[in-house]
Amino acid sequence: GRCRLLCKPSALAQHLVGSLGRSAALQGGRWPWPCWPQLQMLRQLLQLPEPEPVVARELLQLPDSGLVALDWLVGPRGARGGGGSPSPVLLLIPNAAGKVTGGLLQLGLRALERGFVPVIFNRRGHNGCPLTTPRLQPFGDPGDLREAVTYLCCRYPAAPLLAVSEGSGSGLLLAYLGESGSSSRLAAAACLSPVFRGRDWFEAGMPWLYEWPLLLHLKRGLSRYAGSLAEAVDVDRLLGSRSLRELEEALFCRTKSHPTSWEAYWERNEPLRDADEAAVPVLCLCSADDPVRGPPARSLPLELFRSSPYFFLLLTPRGGHCGFPRRGPGRCWGHEAVLEYFRAMAEFLRAEERRKGLPRPR
């Protein structure tokens, strides 16, 4: 349709242009209210997948005795994917508030139908994951994600590992890719409506329709651990926060043991601080009318996509925030585009191995 792929010219880029151009997902039908991104955003936050998937939770203990949760999608109403375990493992990363939206679950179900092993990464204290230490994960600190990736690679040593993030959760994935470089262990990654500039995003604020539900969602989860957090932060200030920025400052800047400035915090947590080191193909699916990320002119790092051979921007004029709606089954064409991208990536890598006569990595 009217999507544009912005990237540095390469053989991989040429292959993606052909594959995505032939994809039925990008020819998708119209939605009844294409000009209401706020409504698309509300629909994306509130809608549950049909049918709702069954999830098996696994807790992973970290070196400092903290816990993260891995939720394995095992199919609707207990049904499992046929033919044993599928080969590619797909790691799903929710937004920074830990809100597992219906859209993310729907993407997991679509992936399950296509032979992936989908698993959701839940940060410390998010989505019912117990908080065993008075420490949460900063916006762009990939340490816990690295432990989860290492575990998945040990559990599925011969399987390709892919990752996809939603909204502000992309800050974590982008930081991980930059900090890990060629040691990321991922074959490919994708970001749905990513937030590229964390500090600017927090300072600009968001539509109340999006910010207040996420703020209440975070406060409700943190209030369960008010007693243990009291030794590290000012809980009254934390629970009295009136914006996501105030809450972020209370959690990570105004701490009792190691207080820091807002500027120093973002020097360590900006998603793109090490973007030049990334060595994994990343598709970023963005909409020009995204009311959460902000106007494209100030929120999209266009020069990064023009200069890096690993970053690909699929830009659509309408789609809202993580919405990309269409009528009929599979109502988010963005999910189909991401799964088509992973298919095209695997096809390209197999062709390169045959062309160069390289042995498949073990």
Q: Is the pLDDT of residue 131 over 50?
A: yes
Tell me how long the chain is: 362
pLDDT for position 38? 61
Is 261 domain-assigned?
yes
What does the H/E/C string look like for the chain? CCCEEECCCCHHHHHHHHHHHHCHHHHCCCCCCCCCHHHHHHHHHHCCCCCCEEEEEEEEECCCCCEEEEEEEEEECCCCCCCCCCCCEEEEECCCCCCCCHHHHHHHHHHHHCCCEEEEEECCCCCCCCCCCCCCCCCCCCHHHHHHHHHHHHHCCCCCEEEEEEHHHHHHHHHHHHHHHHHCCCCEEEEECCCCCHHHHHHHCCCHHHHHHHHHHHHHHHHCCHHHHCCCCCHHHHHCCCCHHHHHHHHHCCCCCCCCCHHHHHHHHCCCCCHHHCCCCEEEEEECCCCCCCCHHHHCCHHHHHHCCCEEEEEECCCCCCCCECCCCCCEHHHHHHHHHHHHHHHHHHHHHHHHCCCCCC
Tokens representing 124 are 């410390």
Out of 269, 291, 326, pick the residue that ends a domain. Answer: 269
Instruction: Using pLDDT thresholds of 50, 70 and 90, give the confidence band for residue 216.
Output: very high
My answer on whether 223 and 112 are in the same domain is no
Per the model's pLDDT, the better-predicted residue between 221 and 361 turns out to be 221
Average pLDDT, the chain: 88
237-261 mean pLDDT: 94
pLDDT for position 78? 43
pLDDT for position 176? 98
Is 362 domain-assigned?
no
109-126 mean pLDDT: 94
Whether 258 is catalytic is: no
My answer on whether 298 and 255 are in the same domain is no
My answer on whether 46 and 150 are in the same domain is yes
Is 133 domain-assigned?
yes
My answer on whether 242 and 308 are in the same domain is no
Q: Is the pLDDT of residue 48 over 80?
A: no
Our CA angle for 101, 104, 105, nearest 5°, is 90
Instruction: Using pLDDT thresholds of 50, 70 and 90, give the confidence band for residue 95.
Output: very high
201-226 mean pLDDT: 90
Q: Is the pLDDT of residue 91 over 80?
A: yes
CATH of the domain at 21: 3.40.50.1820
Task: Write the CB contacts of 145 (distance below 8 Å, at least 6 apart in sequence).
Answer: 93, 121, 172, 173, 176
My answer on whether 301 and 314 are in the same domain is yes
Is 328 domain-assigned?
yes
My answer on whether 192 and 228 are in the same domain is no
My answer on whether 239 and 276 are in the same domain is no
Per the model's pLDDT, the better-predicted residue between 34 and 247 turns out to be 247
100-105 mean pLDDT: 90
Task: Write the CB contacts of 246 (distance below 8 Å, at least 6 apart in sequence).
Answer: 237
pLDDT for position 89? 96
pLDDT for position 39? 63
My answer on whether 257 and 297 are in the same domain is no
Out of 221, 236, 269, pick the residue that ends a domain. Answer: 269
Burial class (CB in 10 A: 0-12, 13-18, 19+), 183: exposed
My answer on whether 19 and 97 are in the same domain is yes
Domain encompassing residue 191: 4-197+271-357
Q: Is the pLDDT of residue 61 over 80?
A: yes
My answer on whether 263 and 285 are in the same domain is no
Q: How many domains does one find in the chain? A: 2
Query: Do residues 287 and 318 touch, judged by C-beta distance below 8 A?
Result: yes
Per the model's pLDDT, the better-predicted residue between 326 and 153 turns out to be 153
My answer on whether 218 and 151 are in the same domain is no
The backbone torsions φ and ψ at residue 133, rounded to the nearest 5 degrees and listed phi first, read -135, 150
Whether 321 is catalytic is: yes
Q: Is the pLDDT of residue 360 over 60?
A: no
Q: Which of 63-72, 96-105, 265-274 has the lowest mean pLDDT?
A: 96-105
pLDDT in tens, 234-248: 999 999 999 999 999
Cα gap 265→262, rounded to integer Å? 5
Query: Do residues 143 and 243 touch, judged by C-beta distance below 8 A?
Result: no
Is 313 domain-assigned?
yes
pLDDT for position 85? 44
Out of 269, 285, 315, pick the residue that ends a domain. Answer: 269
Predicted structure pTM score = 0.91
Q: Which among 169, 163, 162 has a CA at the least distance from the CA of 194?
A: 169
My answer on whether 122 and 209 are in the same domain is no
Instruction: Using pLDDT thresholds of 50, 70 and 90, give the confidence band for residue 207.
Output: confident
Query: Do residues 167 and 201 touch, judged by C-beta distance below 8 A?
Result: no
Active-site residue among 71, 144, 321, 335? Answer: 321
Type of residue at 326? R
pLDDT in tens, 321-354: 888 887 665 578 899 999 999 999 999 988 887 8
Instruction: Using pLDDT thresholds of 50, 70 and 90, give the confidence band for residue 54.
Output: confident
Q: Dihedral angle at the C-alpha atoms of 276, 277, 281, 285, nearest 10 degrees?
A: -50
Burial class (CB in 10 A: 0-12, 13-18, 19+), 84: exposed
Q: Which among 276, 297, 296 has a CA at the least distance from the CA of 286?
A: 296
